[in-house]
Amino acid sequence: MIEKGLKIAIIGGGSSYTPEIIEGFINRYAELPVKELWLVDIEAGKDKLEIVGNLAKRMVKKAGVDCTINLTLDRRSALKDADFVTTQFRVGLLDARIRDEKIPLRYGCMGQETTGAGGFAKALRTIPVILDICRDMEELCPDAWLVNFTNPSGIITEAVLKHTKIKCVGLCNVPILMQKMVAEMMEAEETDIFVHFVGLNHLVWGRKVYCKGEDVTEKVVDLLVHDIQSGVKNIPENEWVAEQIKDLNMLPCPYHRYFYLTDEMLKEEIEAAKTVGTRGEVVKKVEEELFAIYANQDLDVKPKQLEERGGQYYSDAACTLIHAIYNDKRIVMPVNVRNNGAIADLPENVVVETSALITKHGVLPLNTGRVETKIRGLMQVVKAYEELTIEAAVTGDYGVALQALTMNPLVTSAGIAKKILDDILLENKEYLPQFQ
């Protein structure tokens, strides 16, 4: 018998994704009795919080569920005695993302919000904030689970697990989209598909793909290199090099295009920046349209237009994960979790993105052992870059930051890394006190 309802705090509650997480909690209410939902934001996001919060209230009212929606700028009141906390915030808002995309492009490097130098800048701004949130959690809700989908999700999750006592698991929508793509390819239900994911956030491979118990990895790879697209909104769908992917015989994630097709992707980014704008500039326009839709007092469901935002299914995955932990469902999901020896080629204390068993006792990654040389090298280099990025964000050490950026495969040299780093520090000065 359920004694009390759950209290969940959503940090970054004014996000355009919030209607999706509200819908997810409504759909699972019978088994996941969320009685208090606290949407938290900062002063700069107050107007968006009001708009999306009022839509959330209309959605809950229409669904007829017993759940109170609270809107607040006071994070501590939202965190007090929370059972779960989700994080979906962006330090510096979309203007910071646009800078992250434009700075590397000045120097002929990839400008993307979560990978390369752009993801590095985002991590430097975000890590001090997430650690501050965790200090509040340690005081106000020490037993709560933190479900992080603030990007770069793997790096942020690792920072939390290395530097706090909070139980934390990270999420990404990319493996979910990959699973959906495979189901479409195989003309099967999603429940018929199992993909064993191995790697890092935004650098994850479907190492084995099964449909109804049959290994269909080779078949899926063959379909992928011919005519099936990824369906990830924020990544151009450049064609893979068929021979390379077929020899790999694994399902690459859409973000592998940045590493496997760097020249083509960079050319496309430079052209887009000159014409339609960077992805951040495009998203800014999409968000303005979305919030105009959200403000309609007659709207009381998640609007279809949210799917154009990119990042869809993040929030639904968060609801599935919380549901699985709370009810000890023991399902397998792709998540960002402490390695603990699951991938033998990486340190035990780093975060990996892999298929894991979700229980109320913890999130347990499936054992992979050693991985193929074809993916090992890139994975190890990117992980070393991530480890140094976390150290730089925590310590504010310029030298460590420069080493991290120099190591990143999408940055061309130490000289270029120094120029990019200096611009990042200058243009993000108000968000990077650790470097002052």
Taking only the tens place, the pLDDT of each residue in 287-307 is: 899 999 999 999 999 888 777
| Alpha carbon distance 3, 33 (integer Å) | 10
Q: Under a CB-based contact definition with an 8 Å cutoff, are residues 161 and 338 in contact?
A: yes
Supply the range of the domain harboring residue 149. 6-170
**Domain assignment present for 53:** yes
Domain finish residue from 151, 170, 189: 170
Q: Per residue in 204-256, pLDDT tens? A: 999 999 999 999 999 999 999 886 555 555 556 778 999 999 999 999 999 99
**Domain assignment present for 149:** yes
| Alpha carbon distance 240, 29 (integer Å) | 42
Residue-averaged pLDDT of the chain: 94
CATH assignment of the domain containing 54: 3.40.50.720
**Domain assignment present for 25:** yes
What does residue 209 show for φ and ψ, rounded to 5 degrees? -125, 130
**Domain assignment present for 283:** no
The mean per-residue pLDDT over the stretch 10-23 comes to: 93
- The residues carrying an active-site annotation are 255
Report the pLDDT value the prediction gives residue 274, as an integer from 0 to 100. 94
Exposed/middle/buried for residue 148 (C-beta within 10 Å: 0-12, 13-18, 19+): buried
In this prediction, residue 187 has a pLDDT band, given cuts at 50, 70 and 90, of: very high
| Alpha carbon distance 373, 130 (integer Å) | 34
**Please, which residues bridge with residue 62 across strands?**
none
DSSP 343: B
Residue in this structure with the two tokens 């991985």, named with its chain if needed: 371
| Alpha carbon distance 17, 309 (integer Å) | 9
Quote the number of domains for the chain.
2
Torsion sign (Cα): 244, 248, 249, 253 = negative
Smallest CA-to-CA distance from 36 within 88, 87, 79 is with 79
**Domain assignment present for 330:** no
Domain finish residue from 170, 194, 226: 170
**Domain assignment present for 92:** yes
Q: Per residue in 112-123, pLDDT tens? A: 999 999 999 999
**Domain assignment present for 124:** yes
**Domain assignment present for 254:** no
Smallest CA-to-CA distance from 7 within 77, 87, 90 is with 77
In this prediction, residue 316 has a pLDDT band, given cuts at 50, 70 and 90, of: confident
| Alpha carbon distance 19, 303 (integer Å) | 8
Q: Helix/strand/coil (H, E, C) string of 129-151?
A: HHHHHHHHHHHHCCCCEEEECCC
What is the secondary structure of 102-120 as a DSSP string?
Answer: HHHHHTTS---SSSHHHHH
**Please, which residues bridge with residue 167 across strands?**
145
| Alpha carbon distance 342, 364 (integer Å) | 9
| Alpha carbon distance 18, 318 (integer Å) | 11
| Alpha carbon distance 30, 245 (integer Å) | 44
| Alpha carbon distance 206, 287 (integer Å) | 32
The H or E element spanning position 214 is: strand 214-215
What does residue 13 show for φ and ψ, rounded to 5 degrees? -65, -20
pLDDT at residue 308 greater than cutoff 70: no
pLDDT at residue 267 greater than cutoff 80: yes
Smallest CA-to-CA distance from 384 within 129, 158, 118, 144 is with 158
Domain finish residue from 150, 170, 190: 170
Half-sphere exposure of 243 (CA within 13 A, CB side): 0
Rg (CA), the chain: 21
Q: Under a CB-based contact definition with an 8 Å cutoff, are residues 140 and 7 in contact?
A: no
**Please, which residues bridge with residue 71 across strands?**
39
